[in-house]
Structure 1
Amino acid sequence: MTRSLEPMMDFFLREKGELVHINGVRQLALIRDATNTIQMTDEKIIRAATPLHTGDIVDYRYERYLITSQVDQNEKSCRGRIRKCNQWLALNWNGQVKWFDSVVEARTFSTETGKVISMPEGNILVSLQDNADTRNIALSQRFYMTHQPFKIVGINHTLNGIIQLSCTLDSINTAYDDVEHNIADRWKYEITHTYALHIHQGTITHVLLNETIPLNVTATDNGNEVTNPAITYVSSDPSMVSVDQQGQVMGIALGQASITAKLTYHPTVLSTIEMRVVETGTHIYSIAITGNPMLKTGQSSSYVSHIYDHGVEVFDQSVEWSLRNQDDSTPTKGSITASTGNSVAVKAGSSSGSSNKALILTATLVSDPSMTIEKTISLKNLF
């Protein structure tokens, strides 16, 4: 007597499922390859105990997938087919740029015969999640993919949960298009952006074995903090230190690994921190610097380092101070004029050319020089 496959799959889901994110929500899912052969499309089958819908976004093993099939459902689980999102597309609405995870292909399949249909040279088919943003996509809208411009010539809204775009190769507009970063008409509406990403726990910190800590990360654009930035987190050794896409770090095994935070849509903008996994009872120091975040030309201000062990402030540790320009240029546009204990006085330079520049004040723990913290001090003209 043969056992039904469905109860067996539900059992495997409970026992062998992996943690994924479905539309940003952490869920347990069972994922397997859709075929026995390796394919360019990287199609997989997903099964979850929670509802699935065509067009859902699935984050799985540091990759993003789109549910492209209809969803089968039984009493205990849902099943669908997912495809890896192979491109980020930036669409520009009069200066408002939004990025979309998409499945892009230069060929498609007939829904009646299942046969491959080759598309004309220079044409592509783009599949996106159907949502409030993608519903605003219009005919003739342009975007870049791998530094090549495309124009939308057809939009298919008939697939529940997914929008499909038929696109053809277009001409580069050298005056307006940011070809390097794949954004059409960027310079038509905006000035150049300078992004930065900063992990505020310094260059190295500790996490207890089997415990979690959040990374404190901020992103700036031209010096201004970005609200709710899209950040991707990666561990150099997930068997030692794991990190989820909300920046929660867990100590898995005693040792050390690096965690890298990247701006999702500008992956060259990144920041890295070394995470040491330690046992309970080990000193876990951290440093915070308080003081004025901005100095005007010729102005002085005091800064204080606060040292914590397991989050409780201690007073038997000390730091050494250093100062540099944020862009690492010379000479330094400020100076340390006094240092007493864990306090320091910083004076901005007198040059008027320092406006809109920044200094980086660094505190280094004397007992563990690998433990540092930085504070950014913006410089402004006096008038």
Structure 2
Amino acid sequence: MTRSLESMLDFFLREKGELVHINSVRQLTLIRDATNHIQMTDEKIIRAATPLHTGDTVDYRDERYLITSQVDQNEKSCRGRMRKCNQRLALNWSGQVKWFDAVVEARTFSTETGKVISMPEGNILVTVQDNIGTRGITLSQRFYMTHQPFKVTGIDRTMNGIIQLSCTLDSINTAYDDVENNIADRWKYEIAHTYALHIHQGTIAYVRLNETLPLNVTATDNGNELANPAITFISSDPNVVSVDQHGQVMGIALGQASINAKLTYHPAVQSSIEMRVVETGTHIYSITITGSPTLKTGQSASYVSHIYDHGTEVFDQSVEWSLRNQDDSTPIMGSITASTGNSVTIKAGSSSGANNKALVLTATLVSDPSITIEKTISLKNLF
């Protein structure tokens, strides 16, 4: 495209132009490849009748580009060189995470010789738009790219509109870095989530033929119960046991099937129960435990079991109690100090290391040990 085309620019834009977004504003432009040779980077020449600036972002054919060259401007048009942003990087400022489109390369061009210069192994050059967010980038700031950590070792702000960062490979910080989601130091400022799902009818429960039984399911995050968690329920054999998305189980045919419950937005967190369909008239026992979900170190609390036969509370059955750490570690961070009938008293240990950990209290039906219920008790420091 030569200067002789300037007088016909409107015609070419109208006939050959493509609509793009420049800094989110819709514009008509002419775009062509910057070279006839296949190369590692996607680089194009953009021409528009409206102003272009180094550092402008161009959304073109579902990809984002960054104008990385000085802009050639005359009375009728502007022309510049743009490169496709091949990475999206997260930078963390004391817990405030911002994402930036970037051009990342492991080799660059010499402005003096025009030849390709290979960078040392483990080093990259990152080009970002110069804006209010990127101006806060500092030396030694860390970020992740393709699950690998990098550290900023040099900052070049000499070209208006863009900032170039020299970066080197860094070491992974397993305590703080969210490697999976490419966010450095995330857990340094955020609380890591530890989800768990509990079906309180135990591992086996019974439902009468053509009748229903609601599953008692709770979800916790770091030991604290979640309000209205999204849970997905699936039956291994809907012809024997059906289940709706509220956890309501129905006996369809005599036999057994497993019900799997999982957190909808964290599907790796799940729990299962075996449901057995029995004849009408068969006893179907279930247990609930009432009592505080938290217990401070060194203090005691009482818990009571309630036994139901197909949803109706009965008083001719009893339970046995047991206590363990939620993570199955030893020693147990609490003890059963008293047990009277179907009530029990739990005392938390005095170790300060128990803070934010949890005990699991289990009640087992004496007449049918397959009927159990668990209650998670979060431990907190006294002060």
Q: Secondary structure at the match of 2:353?
A: helix
Is 2:142 the partner of 1:172? no
In structure 2, the CA distance between the partners of 1:248 and 1:142, relative to structure 1 (3 Å rule), is farther
Amino acid at match of 2:146: I
**Per-residue CA shift, 1:303-350, capped at 9, x if unaligned?**
111111122111110101100001100000111112122121111112
- The aligned runs of 1:292-311 (5 Å cut-off) are 292-311=292-311
Moved over 6 A (4+): 138-141
**Per-residue CA shift, 1:236-293, capped at 9, x if unaligned?**
2222112233323221111121111112333221111111112221111111111222
Q: Which residue of 2 aligns with 1:352?
A: 352
How far is 1:184 from its partner?
A: 4.8
- Given that 2:223 and 2:357 are in contact with CA atoms closer than 8 Å, whether structure 1 keeps it comes out as no
- The TM-score, its normalising length taken from structure 1, stands at 0.53
- Given that 1:142 and 1:184 are in contact with CA atoms closer than 8 Å, whether structure 2 keeps it comes out as no
**Per-residue CA shift, 1:112-159, capped at 9, x if unaligned?**
xxxxxxxxx9x9xxxxxxxxxxxxxx967959xxxxxxx999xxxxxx
- The TM-score, its normalising length taken from structure 2, stands at 0.53
* Partners of 1:252 and 1:194 in 2: CA distance: 36
In structure 2, the CA distance between the partners of 1:328 and 1:259, relative to structure 1 (3 Å rule), is same
- The aligned runs of 1:97-246 (5 Å cut-off) are 171-175=145-149, 178-180=178-180, 183-185=181-183, 188=186, 190-246=190-246
- The aligned runs of 1:26-37 (5 Å cut-off) are none
- Given that 1:234 and 1:243 are in contact with CA atoms closer than 8 Å, whether structure 2 keeps it comes out as yes
Q: Secondary structure at the match of 2:367?
A: coil
Identity of aligned residues (%): 78
Q: Secondary structure at the match of 1:353?
A: helix
Q: Which residue of 1 aligns with 2:316?
A: 316
How far is 1:186 from its partner?
A: 7.9
Mark the runs of 5 or more structure 2 residues left unpaired by the alignment. Answer: 1-39, 43-62, 65-84, 90-99, 103-143, 150-175
Amino acid at match of 1:172: T
Is 2:341 the partner of 1:367? no
Q: Which residue of 2 aligns with 1:131?
A: none
Q: Which residue of 1 aligns with 2:23?
A: none
* Partners of 1:300 and 1:315 in 2: CA distance: 26
- Given that 2:295 and 2:380 are in contact with CA atoms closer than 8 Å, whether structure 1 keeps it comes out as yes
How far is 1:373 from its partner?
A: 0.4
Q: Secondary structure at the match of 1:382?
A: coil
How far is 1:206 from its partner?
A: 1.8
Q: CA RMSD in A?
A: 3.3
Q: Which residue of 2 aligns with 1:339?
A: 339
Q: Which residue of 2 aligns with 1:326?
A: 326
* Partners of 2:361 and 2:177 in 1: CA distance: 37
Alignment coverage as a number of residue pairs: 227
Amino acid at match of 1:326: Q
In structure 2, the CA distance between the partners of 1:228 and 1:342, relative to structure 1 (3 Å rule), is closer
How far is 1:185 from its partner?
A: 3.5
- Given that 2:362 and 2:373 are in contact with CA atoms closer than 8 Å, whether structure 1 keeps it comes out as yes
Q: Secondary structure at the match of 2:328?
A: coil
Mark the runs of 5 or more structure 1 residues left unpaired by the alignment. Answer: 1-120, 124-137, 144-150, 154-169
Amino acid at match of 2:368: D
- Given that 2:145 and 2:182 are in contact with CA atoms closer than 8 Å, whether structure 1 keeps it comes out as no
Q: Larger C-alpha radius of gyration, 1 or 2?
A: 2
In structure 2, the CA distance between the partners of 1:246 and 1:302, relative to structure 1 (3 Å rule), is closer
